Chains A and B, each alone.
Chain A
Amino acid sequence: GAVVSQHPSRVICKSGTSVKIECRSLDFQATTMFWYRQFPKQSLMLMATSNEGSKATYEQGVEKDKFLINHASLTLSTLTVTSAHPEDSSFYICSVSQADRVATEAFFGQGTRLTVV
């Protein structure tokens, strides 16, 4: 399966600052990547679909101006949490889907633990 790398794995930032999280597809050219958010002891909630060369599409209830997504190349998508607040503290995970005519699978990065103080 696809190898997905996220950076950083952990970040602590001050309230009001912005934080950028990178997601790289190391062995696969991904036209589409996905960003998820996971609160403690909860499931993964899909935030947005990152499309290479075009605007991201956001799930209902996710603020696009708050969570800026850029997918400038086939191997890199970035998520920027702007003007972060303590309630933005969460585990953010990206994924890459590999799809052909028969099957679709999703592979995940190791996640980024964001803590806003």
Chain B
Amino acid sequence: GQQLNQSPQSMFIQEGEDVSMNCTSSSIFNTWLWYKQDPGEGPVLLIALYKAGELTSNGRLTAQFGITRKDSFLNISASIPSDVGIYFCAGQYGNFNKFYFGSGTKLNVKP
């Protein structure tokens, strides 16, 4: 399957700080999705991106589809303790209706 490089692997931040994470791929993707996963649960969709250059927000979350279609980033502004979890990017390429996942970014927020 596809290899998605996601960074950073983990982050330790103070409540109120902004956070940024990104994913890169070797292939051109048609769609980028960002998910959050809590322990023992399935991933929950946060933001979906469909066009190169697209910038989309969902509350304090903002994500962008890179111009080259090989990367995407997710920003979280003014982090709060409930933002703690693992964030995954997922990408779809070609005519395949399936998604491949990045390695995840574990976010820790200190109150």
**A residues engaging B (CB < 8 A)?**
1, 4, 6, 32, 34, 36, 42-46, 49, 59-60, 91, 93, 95, 97, 99, 102-111, 113
Complex CA gap A113/B39 in Å reads 11
Of all chain B residues, the one with the shortest Cβ separation from A102 is B50
Is B111 located at the chain interface by the 8 A CB criterion?
Answer: no
Name B34-49 residues within 8 Å CB distance of A. Answer: 35, 40-45, 48
Give a binary string over B74-90; 1 marks a CB under 8 Å from any A CB, 0 the rest.
Answer: 00000000000000101
Pairwise interchain contact B48-A105, C-beta atoms closer than 8 A: yes
Of A102, A103, A106, A110, which is within 8 A of B41 by CB? A110
Chain B residues positioned under 8 Å from A45 (CB to CB): 1, 101
User: How many Å from the CB of A50 to the closest CB on chain B?
Assistant: 11
Chain A residues positioned under 8 Å from B1 (CB to CB): 45-46, 59-60
Of all chain B residues, the one with the shortest Cβ separation from A93 is B42
Of A6, A44, A106, which is within 8 A of B45 by CB? A106
Contact A104 to B42, CB < 8 A, known contacts A43-B88, A43-B102, A60-B1: no
Pairwise interchain contact B42-A106, C-beta atoms closer than 8 A: no
Chain B residues positioned under 8 Å from A95 (CB to CB): 42, 99
Complex CA gap A107/B46 in Å reads 11
Contact A105 to B45, CB < 8 A, known contacts A46-B1, A46-B98, A49-B98: yes
10 more A-B contacts (CB under 8 A) besides A32-B97, A49-B97, A108-B42? A36-B101, A42-B103, A43-B104, A46-B1, A46-B99, A60-B1, A97-B98, A102-B50, A106-B45, A113-B40
7 residue pairs, one from A and one from B, having the closest CB atoms: A108-B42, A44-B101, A111-B42, A43-B101, A110-B42, A43-B103, A108-B43
Complex CA gap A97/B30 in Å reads 14
Contact A104 to B31, CB < 8 A, known contacts A1-B45, A34-B98, A113-B40: yes
Chain A residues positioned under 8 Å from B104 (CB to CB): 42-43
Chain A residues positioned under 8 Å from B40 (CB to CB): 91, 111, 113
Pairwise interchain contact A103-B48, C-beta atoms closer than 8 A: yes
Query: Could you pull out 28 A-B pairs where Cβ atoms are within 8 angstroms?
Result: A4-B42, A32-B97, A34-B99, A36-B101, A42-B103, A42-B104, A43-B104, A44-B88, A45-B1, A45-B101, A46-B99, A46-B100, A49-B98, A60-B1, A95-B42, A97-B97, A97-B98, A103-B31, A104-B92, A105-B31, A105-B45, A106-B33, A106-B45, A106-B98, A108-B44, A109-B42, A111-B41, A113-B40
